[in-house]
Homo-oligomer: A and B are copies of this chain.
């Protein structure tokens, strides 16, 4: 039923290559099928102004897409300014990563996670969150090793998958052909079996409580599988 021949609960192959940036304190290239996102974590020993002298740190994220990451070339955001969609995505990434961080343990410093989509085939924001956590984990390890933080500010992986209703069926991990057809789709972000964020939207359609329940199940399985891949990547 799916264009790719995948089963309804089947994710695309996921690989996470770490250490891809010579300069960043943490980095990885995450591939989810044909989607590829370069994630870097940059440690900044200063917090933003509104957090000065509050005794805790901050994690924030920025998101971008190379102009030809997509099937047809998009306009460069550096020339046009960030779209509402881009701002919405980077606010989401930052919020989700912060939910998995002990900001007091991090100390008064900021980690900026940059997620740049090198190639897009659906699910870029989920790949960004999942890969972003890996970059963050590596940067936090460096702080621990250097003795700059003494208690680990991170715990279980923060993992994200997309789910949607395609051809009447709840499915996991939509690729671009599915994403552009699905009337209902969304993103689920989880950590250690608990929910961080749920964003389900129906463009020109609606969905039932039973479908919502099934999507929540698919998401729980998908994020559990991702968490294992994330942990393997940072070992």
Contacts and interface: CB of A to CB of B under 8 A. Distances in A.
Interface of A: 21-24, 27, 34, 38, 40, 42, 44, 62, 64, 66-73, 76-79, 81-82, 84-88, 91, 95, 98-99, 103, 112, 114, 116, 118-119, 121, 186, 191-192, 194-209, 212, 216, 220
Contacts of A23: 68-72, 119
A191 to B, nearest CB: 6
Going nearest first, the 5 A-B pairs with the smallest beta carbon separation are A84-B87, A77-B78, A194-B206, A40-B68, A42-B73
Most buried by B among A99, A118, A201, A204: A201
A38 B119 CA distance: 12
A67 B88 CA distance: 19
A78 B95 contact: no
Given A21-B68, A194-B208, A197-B200, 20 more contacts: A22-B121, A23-B69, A40-B66, A40-B67, A42-B72, A62-B76, A76-B114, A77-B78, A78-B78, A78-B81, A87-B88, A88-B91, A95-B203, A99-B206, A186-B198, A192-B206, A196-B201, A197-B201, A198-B199, A199-B199
